[in-house]
Amino acid sequence: MAEYYWDNQIEYLRNTRWLYYNDDYLEFLVERVWRIKQAVHMIDYGCGFGYMGLKLLPLLPVGSRYTGLDQGSELIKHAKELFAHTSYQAEFIECDIETVQVERAYDIAISHAFLLHMSEPRMILEKMIGSVVDGGRVICFEPHWIANMSSYVLSGIEQSSFMQLGVLQKLYEQDASRSGKDGNIGMKIPAMLSQLGVRGVECRVSDRVNFLDQHMAEQDKHTLYNAFIEEGLGAMPDNRNEINAQLMERGLTAEEANNQYEAEVSFAKTFNENEYMTYAPNMKITSGIVNR
C-alpha cells in the first residue's frame, strides 16, 4: 500500500491549525449561531489527529460524542493517544472515506480543510448529508485560497512584489479543472449544499488575524514566525528548475512560472522574525440543516 502523505505531516498540522480560529469565536458559533443545546454525536470526515474534536468537544453540551474518519494510520494512532488523556467519548475509524459506508446515525457531520483535497468533493458532501439524522447539521470548515493569498501584509512592502494574485487564481482554477481538487472550495460549498437539499445554509469566515508584533514576548514571536514558515508563508522555494517545471505542468507559461518563483524568493528573502506581518487565513465556515 502506498504511503499516505498526511501521515508524515502530523507536526505540520499540530504547529499550524491554531492559526485559523480564536477559541471564543468557536464558542460563539456553537452557542449563538448553531445553538447546540443538547448532547450530540459528531462525525468528522478527514479527522486527522482529531483537531476539531479537541476544539469543539469542550464547547458542546456534556455527553457529546465524537467519531473521526481518516485514511492515515499514523494520524489515527496519534488521535487515539491524544484522546486517551481526555474524558471525552471518542472513536476513530481508519478507512477510505471515498468508499466507506456510513450509517445515518449522527447529529452533526463536519469536515475541516479536507474537501479541498478530494477529487470529488460533491460526493463527499453527499456522504456527509447521508450520515446525519433528520434535523441534523452539516458543517464545513474549508479554505478559499485566493482570499487567503490576498490577506498578508508585510510592513513596508508592496504586496504585489511578492504575491501575484492573478497568476495564483489562474493556477488554482486550472488545478481544480484538471484534478477536481479545489483550494477555493470554501466559497462554493454554500451553493453545493443548497443544491443537495440542505436548508438554512449560511457561511461565516474565521475570525483570527495573526500579527507578528515586534513588541510581543520573544517566545510567542518565535512560535508565530515558525508557524508562518511551516504554513508556507515566506518559506524559501526549492530548486528553480523543478519548481518552474511543476508550475508549467499545472498550466502556467514559462514566464508566469519564473515570475512566480521570483516572487516567492523575494518574499523569503524579505520576511524574517524581526519583521511586522499580519495574516488572516479566511477559512470559510458553512453550515446547514438536513430535513428529509
Spell out the per-residue pLDDT of the chain, length 292, in tens: 468 999 999 999 999 999 999 999 999 999 999 999 999 999 999 999 999 999 999 999 999 999 999 999 999 999 999 999 999 999 999 999 999 999 999 999 999 999 999 999 999 999 999 999 999 999 999 999 999 999 999 999 999 988 999 999 999 999 999 999 999 999 999 999 999 999 999 999 999 999 999 999 999 999 999 999 999 999 999 999 999 999 999 999 999 999 999 999 999 999 999 999 999 999 999 999 999 8
Burial of 238 (0-12, 13-18, 19+ CB in 10 A): exposed
Cα 233 to Cα 154: distance, rounded to the nearest angstrom? 11
Name the grid cell of 119.
Answer: 477529487
Which pLDDT score is estimated for 1? 47
Parallel/antiparallel/unpaired status of strands 106-112 and 132-142: parallel
Q: What count of Cα atoms within 13 Å lies in the side-chain half-sphere of residue 162?
A: 22
Which pLDDT score is estimated for 2? 63
Cα 84 to Cα 77: distance, rounded to the nearest angstrom? 11
Parallel/antiparallel/unpaired status of strands 210-212 and 277-279: antiparallel
What is the CATH code of the structural domain delimited by 5-144+184-208+281-289? 3.40.50.150
Measured at the CA of 249, the angle between CA 162 and CA 119, to 5 degrees, comes to 95
Which pLDDT score is estimated for 23? 95
Cα 239 to Cα 224: distance, rounded to the nearest angstrom? 26
- Indicate the pTM of the whole model: 0.95
Cα 71 to Cα 104: distance, rounded to the nearest angstrom? 20
